[in-house]
Amino acid sequence: MSERSKLFNKEKTSLVKELYTEAFRSWRSYILENNFVVFSWLCLILIALAID
């Protein structure tokens, strides 16, 4: 591979990573904030089942 193609691949990978991070950052926090009680109860039930 030439240096130019390596640089292009590195830039492309960096761009995709940045787009993914920006697009899904608010989506994850929205789900956690709005479903935190359900998530907490689900974790508690799973822990109880694991102990039992």
Higher pLDDT, 30 or 35: 35
* pLDDT value of residue 1: 58
Count of structural domains, the chain: 1
Q: List the domain range (segments joined by +) for residue 12.
A: 3-51
pLDDT of residue 28: 66
Percent pLDDT > 90 in the chain is 13
- From residue 17, alpha-carbon distances to 3, 7, 27, 37 in Å are 21, 15, 16, 31
User: What phi and psi, each to the nearest 5 degrees, are found at residue 7?
Assistant: -65, -40
CA–CA separation, 22 and 20 (whole Å): 6
